[in-house]
Structure 1
Amino acid sequence: MVRNATNRSTRRGFLRTVGGATAGLFAAGPVTAQSGGGETHTVTMATDRGSFYYDPVGLHVEPGDTVEWVNESGQHSATAYTQNNPRYDGSRRIPEAAESWDSGVFEEQGATFSYTFEEPGTYDYYCIPHKTLGMVGRIVCGSPGGPAEESALPESDTPRGVMPPSDTIVEEGSLEWPYVPTTNHGGPPMLFWSSVGVVGLTSAYLFSVYDRSSGRYEELDLPDDE
């Protein structure tokens, strides 16, 4: 009998302990699985009729976010501008405390590579086979900063107008390829139509001057009515 009472007491103590722990868990709120990071962004790598590009070419992320590059077509890589990577012997263009990366050249469609951004700053990267053809990209983690902001990329790596400014990337969040810089005059499309308008007005004015000088509009000497 004593043994049974002891067992019942032991069971009661166990249940009270488990019940108290369970109540404590619910009091603290539901337990959810942790993903271990921030958002995941996708950048495609593509070849299209002689163009080689990343899309988006400019992307803003937050510390802890991951970028996944997906090879949509062609043979490409996603490679950080650091001295230890292939086909690059210039200065570092990612934050000093950030780890370098190199996906290697993908030959198969659908191949992917991921990198998690931890250090704030500006990250420039390139495609090993197509760097000199302008296939470069920029990612700003948090706010712009670091070596990439201290000097411009060589023109051989970046045709004019391809690499977006960091401030624009932060403002827009994501910039599709091809990136065409805009200014207060409205960018290339507005410049085109403005030039057409200027040419048209100038031509109209010159024709008007010529037309008036031809004498077509001088008052005719008509006979008086009888």
Structure 2
Amino acid sequence: MKRRTFVKWGSALSVGGLAGCSAPTGDGGGEATAGGTTTEGGAATEGETTTEGGAGGGTQEIAMITEGSEYYFDPIGLFVEPGTTVEWVIESGSHSSTAYAESLDSANVTRIPEQAEPWDSGILTEQGASFSYTFEVTGTYDYFCLPHKSLGMIARIVCGEPGDVEGDPPDGAVPSEQAIVNQGTISYEEFSGGGSG
């Protein structure tokens, strides 16, 4: 399976337009910039780390937020097509984006498609730091923030079509798969305010 992962630390890398929904550039062959390192394994290093990755489906962004006593991903529900890269960006606080996959020490259950590669950004601490993962396998992906999982900082992505999970993750509620497919994006505010679960 091919995927592309980027890790940026602080403002060491300034890329115009990346904060929006622009497609990655280049041939997907793992071009490193700003002192980064290119690898096959996706291990994080200072600068930018890039792994060989799939065909483009554009880029979608998810904010990781601390707001008072609330810790959340926004949007909490997102629909993407296969080949889409999702970029998680620290808006405030220190967070991770970690797949529910038993192969990772931090998850007791697997809630991603069987053929999908699990991901773990590690804890990102600086505002603007980000981590990206390209979704290639169709199905439903539940994920969490390692330091705030017990406080309900969890979310869901549906790639292509629902599948592979039933109900909510063990650490809290997320929007239903069908609501995500129907709406495309479900904000944290909409969901936590009695929206579309």
Q: Which moved more, 1:45-54 or 1:78-87?
A: 78-87
One-letter amino acid of the structure 2 residue matched with residue 116 of structure 1: T
Give yes or no for contact 1:164–1:181 (8 Å, CA) kept in 2: no
2:62 maps to 1:38 = no
Q: Does 1:144 align with 2:162?
A: yes
User: Once the 2 structures are TM-superposed, how far is the Cα of residue 87 of structure 1 from its aligned partner?
Assistant: 2.5
Match of 2:72 in 1: 53
Let me know the Cα RMSD of the aligned residues: 1.9
Report the Cα distance in structure 1 between the residues aligned to 2:103 and 2:115, rounded to whole angstroms. Answer: 15
Asked if 1:115 is matched to 2:133, the reply is yes
In 2: Cα distance, 1:55 partner to 1:152 partner: 17
Match of 2:178 in 1: 167
Partner deviation per Cα, 1:134-158 (whole Å, 9 max, x = no partner): 1001000011001x23x5322xx10
Structure with bigger RCO (C-alpha 8 Å, 6+ apart): 2
1:84 Cα deviation after fit: 2.4
Separation in 1, partners of 2:160, 2:194: 22
Structure 2 counterpart of 1:24: none
Deviation at 1:181, TM superposition (A): 4.2
Aligned mates of 1:40, 1:101 — CA distance in 2? 17
**Contact 2:73 2:155 survives alignment (8 Å):** yes
> d(CA) in 2 for partners of 1:173 and 1:77?
23
How much does 1:182 deviate? Answer: 4.7
3-state secondary structure, aligned to 2:133: strand
Contact between 2:79 and 2:159, CA under 8 Å: does it hold in 1? yes
Q: Give yes or no for the alignment of 1:72 onto 2:91.
A: yes
Structure (1 or 2) with the larger CA radius of gyration: 1
Matched AA of 2:89: V
**Partner residue, 2:143:** 125
- Checking the alignment, whether the CA contact within 8 Å between 1:58 and 1:174 is kept in structure 2 is yes
Which has the larger share of strand?
A: 2
Measured after TM superposition, the shift of residue 34 of structure 1 is: 6.4
1:81 pairs with 2:92? no
How high is the TM-score relative to the length of structure 2?
Answer: 0.69
Shift of 1:85: 2.0
2: CA distance between counterparts of 1:169 and 1:59?
Answer: 6
More helix by share: 1
Give the match's secondary structure for 1:76.
coil
Unpaired segments ≥5 residues, structure 2: 1-25, 29-54
TM-score (norm 1): 0.60
Residue 39 of structure 1 deviates from its aligned partner by 1.3
Tell me the matched-pair count.
144
* TM superposition shift of 1:65: 0.6
Identity of aligned residues (%): 51
Task: Give the conservation status (yes or no) of the 8 Å contact 1:77–1:103.
Answer: yes
1:99-114 matched pairs, under 5 angstroms = 99-114=117-132
Change (3 A) 1:76 1:86: farther
Amino acid across the alignment from 2:64: M
- After the TM superposition, which residues 5-20 of structure 1 pair with which residues of structure 2 at under 5 Å, given as runs? none
Q: Find the aligned partners of 2:128 and 2:71 in 1 and give their Cα distance.
A: 16
